[in-house]
Amino acid sequence: MNEKKDIGTDPVLETDRTYNLHSWARQKGLKPLHVTRAEGVYFWDASGKRYYDMSSQLVNVNVGHGNKKIADAIKRQVDKLPYLSPPFALDVRAEAARKIVEVAPEGMAKVFFTNAGAESNENAIKMAKMVTGRNKIFSRYRSYHGASYGAANLTGEPRRFPCEPGIPGFVKFFDPYLYRASVRFESETEATSYYIRQLREQLEYEGPENVAAIFLETVTGSNGVIIPPEGYLQGVRGLCDEFGILMVCDEVMCGWGRTGRWFAVDHWNVKPDMITFAKGVTCGYVPLGGVIVNEKVARHFDDHPLMCGLTYSGHPVGCAAAIATIDVYKEEGLIEKAAKTGVFFKKQLEKLLEAHPCVGDVRAIGLFGAVELVRDKKTKEPLVPYGKDPQGIMPGILGMLKERGFWNYSHENILIVAPPLVITEGEISEALEILDEVLCNVDEGL
């Protein structure tokens, strides 16, 4: 099934290289994969080779490829009414918002629709400033919130650099990244106490009366699937309540069943003031994102104008896709399935940790996993330095995986593994055998 055919010169690739600019890449010598079809947890290239989609593309195709219910909903809406501007009431726009609030944490009240995760965070920044009248925004160093200008300033990792010098008022703080913490903690509770004290001190130095919001990915995504220690989110919530700061949870990547709950905050029973979302709400079938706000934020805009607007806010086709996608999650039991399959998934990743000298740590919650690669398990020296990979080591590892039919992506020294929620335990085992084989090659190079 995975045998490659000789297809000669590919006109699609030639046209692509001539006219397209590809994100996050030097364009010279770029050889994008020409994909012709996809179904379930697989996709195929133009030669007929099959790949396990072990990152759900960009951690968004949660229901898998080729879901007919979502596709049919999109087609019906295109035939009925493909576009209507945001000021109008529309059946699918109203129903999509209702369904989203219905599955969101208790206390969430309304939705402002956007087109993608970056726009969701951009508008949440503006809302936080409008509601509080304050000008500072806190976010973490190991974070990615989008590449548009405001979202890039919110972002903590190197992808923010092209947008610097940045917007005044954005302040960074450190994640509770226990694997790489300079302090050795006896327990997660002790770690939480340390990081919350640090955050409190930083708020005091910045003047908490100036801080509009604390943004954080509930589970840090591309920067390593960093799972908050026990009590951490509750500690952040406590600081926000004490100082009148809004807590904004970015669930663009970790929401919509990815962690085995509708939203990752549900694991810790924390109620943020806003949740930003995108990706899994339509699973990429049509672009859609948004900001879910609680009653307090919603009520503010009863008497104050909401100074946010987008031509495609609440796009009818996107909303139709969202309605169908939420129905698929429920009808196929995918949230529960992700939780159950996630237990098996984590155990399989832990076997890689035991078997390979190059694997320093594995982290997983639901079907959201990371494999952190090191040169030495004892010293924890990363396989590539932070922000640098002059020898192309990580692209080389991805190339070996791709050659064997395993598709995913990396960030820094970390491999992200986040398959569609429809994956079976058998498919997980088969795919991770490929990863196991490639990690053996990495071991040999240490």
Tell me: the pLDDT tens digits for 387-433? 999 999 999 999 999 999 999 999 999 999 999 999 999 999 999 99
Cα–Cα distance, 274 to 439 (Å, whole number): 40
pLDDT for 2 equals: 52
Give residues with Cβ within 8 angstroms of 364, minimum separation 6: 225, 342, 345, 346, 349, 370
pLDDT for 8 equals: 56
pLDDT for 1 equals: 47
| Positions of the chain with pLDDT under 70 | 1-8
pLDDT for 106 equals: 96
pLDDT for 6 equals: 47
Each residue of 164-178: pLDDT tens digit?
999 999 999 999 999
Residue type, position 276, single letter: T
Phi-psi label, residue 263: left if phi above 0, alpha if psi -120 to 50, beta otherwise: beta
Residue (of 177, 325, 171) closest to 245 by Cα position: 171
Contact 139, 202 (CB under 8 A): no
Residue (of 438, 394, 290, 403) closest to 24 by Cα position: 394
User: Structure pTM?
Assistant: 0.95
Cα–Cα distance, 129 to 380 (Å, whole number): 40
pLDDT for 5 equals: 47
Residue (of 151, 161, 83, 81) closest to 122 by Cα position: 151
